[in-house]
Homo-oligomer: A and B are copies of this chain.
Amino acid sequence: MHHDHLSATFAALADPTRRAMLARLSQGEANVSDLAKPFLKEMSLPAITKHLKVLEKAGLVTKTKEAQWRPCKLNGAPLKDVSDWMDHYRIFWEESFDRLGEYLKTVTAQEKSKGKNHGRKKKNK
C-alpha cells in the first residue's frame, strides 16, 4: 500500500464519500451510524466502516469508545502536511500568468547555467 503519510492522506481524500464524512465531522463528533446515515441508500454499513478505516489510517479521524457507540472526531493534522505541500505550487494558480512566465524563465535559466541541455529546447520554428 502507501508507504508515506502524504500519499495515504491524498488517497483517503480521493473519494467523495470519505470527503463527505469529513465534512460531517467538521460539524462535530459523530458515531459511525450518524456518518453512515446519508449513504445507507447507496451502500451498506460495512462499506462505511471500511471508508472510516481508511480515514483513520491516514490519521484524519480518531475513533473512541463510548458504550456500544464509536464517537469519531476529525483530526486536521494530516491536512497541514497537504497544505504545506500545496504551498510550493500556489504560484501556479494564484499568481497572474505573466508573473508565472517570468518565474519560469528565471528557473529554467538557472537550469541551463548548470549545464543541463537534454530535452533540447531549440525552438527552431
A27 and B83 contact, Cβ closer than 8 Å, known pairs A13-B10, A34-B118 = no
Q: Does A121 contact B (CB under 8 A)?
A: yes
Q: How many copies does the complex hold?
A: 2
**Which of chain B's residues have a CB closer than 8 A to the CB of A71?**
119, 121
Q: How large is the interface on A (under 10, 10 to 19, 20 to 34, 35 or more residues)?
A: 35 or more
Contact call A2/B14, Cβ cutoff below 8 A? yes
Contact present for A119 and B34 (CB under 8 Å): yes
15 contacts between A and B (CB under 8 A): A2-B14, A4-B16, A7-B14, A10-B11, A11-B14, A27-B107, A28-B108, A29-B119, A69-B120, A71-B121, A74-B89, A75-B92, A76-B93, A79-B93, A83-B90
